[in-house]
């Protein structure tokens, strides 16, 4: 079981409530700070996710924890899917995403929906492909969220997850430690409205099960053909699994 890390330790509210509050607060600044913290590499990693999805030629795609919609917009541009859904628990993030979708003239193809990853408002076996980009570590109940994804996927449907991980080889392990422990929280304190948010994002990344540990969780909830692919020596990892 993944260790549960909350943004605001002094508050009694649930992780789900705290994560919603945090992302609502930082929604306007999220894209810019995310590019800064990842040195722009997150865009390349998302493109790799899109390529994996596009190869399966899905007709219906759902991006969970869609945030401001970067990934679902890219999938609309690179696939022929007739229906694309961006789902997020944060209304603040979705509002930013809706503006971006409209600016790309994709509002006729992309639905931006307020929803809970652990209680998806879709029927069993109804979605061809699901993606999650830097979102599963924010699930309150990881296994429940992954089980919900499996429920709504069609048989042979594909799940692709992009999530943070920790490099294990020198010198990337040491460099990652310095960057995540010192640089990321400092950037958050200097530029973010929520001084706690980027400390939480670093902490949740460092404690999240990655690599084979996460593969085993995917297998436990019933996924098959589970694979993972390191990005930039393990700073992030892409996981692919089939229902």
Q: What is the pLDDT of residues 46-86, one digit of tens each?
A: 999 999 999 999 999 999 999 999 999 999 999 999 999 99
117 annotated as belonging to a binding site for a ligand: yes
d(CA 96, CA 167): 32
Q: Mean per-residue pLDDT for 217-227?
A: 98
Question: Which pLDDT value is given to residue 90?
Answer: 96
Q: Is the pLDDT of residue 2 over 70?
A: no
Question: Which pLDDT value is given to residue 26?
Answer: 87
Task: Point out the least confidently predicted range of 62-76, 83-97, 112-126, 176-190.
Answer: 176-190
94 band by pLDDT with thresholds 50, 70 and 90: very high
Question: Which pLDDT value is given to residue 180?
Answer: 79
Q: Mean per-residue pLDDT for 122-128?
A: 98
Each domain of the chain, given as residue ranges in start order, spans 15-242
Averaged confidence pLDDT in the chain: 91
Q: Kindly report the pTM of this predicted structure.
A: 0.92
Q: Is the pLDDT of residue 138 over 80?
A: yes
d(CA 210, CA 158): 19
Q: Mean per-residue pLDDT for 217-228?
A: 98
Question: Which pLDDT value is given to residue 3?
Answer: 56
Q: What is the pLDDT of residues 152-167, one digit of tens each?
A: 999 999 999 999 999 8
Residue closest to 135 by CA, chosen among 146, 147, 123, 124: 146
237 annotated as belonging to a binding site for a ligand: no
Burial bucket for residue 17 (CB in 10 Å: 0-12, 13-18, 19+) = middle
d(CA 71, CA 69): 6
70 annotated as belonging to a binding site for a ligand: no
Q: What is the pLDDT of residues 97-112, one digit of tens each?
A: 999 999 999 999 999 9
133 annotated as belonging to a binding site for a ligand: yes
Residue closest to 61 by CA, chosen among 69, 72, 52: 72
Q: Mean per-residue pLDDT for 130-135?
A: 96
Question: Which pLDDT value is given to residue 203?
Answer: 79
Instruction: Domain 15-242: state its class.
Output: alpha beta
Question: Which pLDDT value is given to residue 202?
Answer: 73
Q: Is the pLDDT of residue 1 over 70?
A: no
């Amino acid at each position: 079981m993944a260790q549960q890390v909350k943004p605001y330790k002094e508050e009694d509210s649930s992780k789900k409530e705290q994560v919603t509050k945090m992302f609502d607060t930082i929604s306007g600044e999220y894209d810019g700070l995310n590019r800064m913290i990842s040195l722009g590499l997150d865009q390349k990693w998302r493109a790799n996710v899109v390529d994996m999805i596009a190869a399966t030629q899905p007709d219906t795609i759902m991006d969970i924890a869609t945030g401001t919609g970067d990934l679902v917009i890219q999938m609309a541009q690179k696939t022929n899917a007739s229906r694309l859904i961006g789902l997020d628990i944060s209304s603040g993030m979705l509002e930013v995403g809706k503006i971006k979708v409209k600016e790309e003239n994709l509002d006729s193809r992309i639905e931006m929906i307020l929803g809970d990853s652990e209680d998806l408002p879709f029927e069993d076996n109804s979605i061809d492909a699901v993606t999650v980009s830097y979102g599963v570590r924010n699930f309150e109940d990881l296994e429940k969220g992954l089980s919900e994804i499996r429920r709504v996927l069609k048989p042979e449907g594909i799940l692709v997850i992009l999530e943070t991980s920790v490099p294990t080889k020198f010198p990337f392990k040491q460099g990652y430690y310095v960057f995540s422990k010192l640089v990321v929280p400092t950037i958050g304190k200097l530029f973010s409205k929520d001084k706690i948010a980027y400390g939480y994002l670093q902490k949740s990344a460092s404690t999240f099960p990655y690599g084979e540990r996460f593969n085993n969780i995917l297998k436990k909830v019933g996924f098959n053909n589970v694979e993972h692919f390191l990005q930039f020596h393990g700073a992030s990892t892409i996981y692919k699994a089939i229902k």
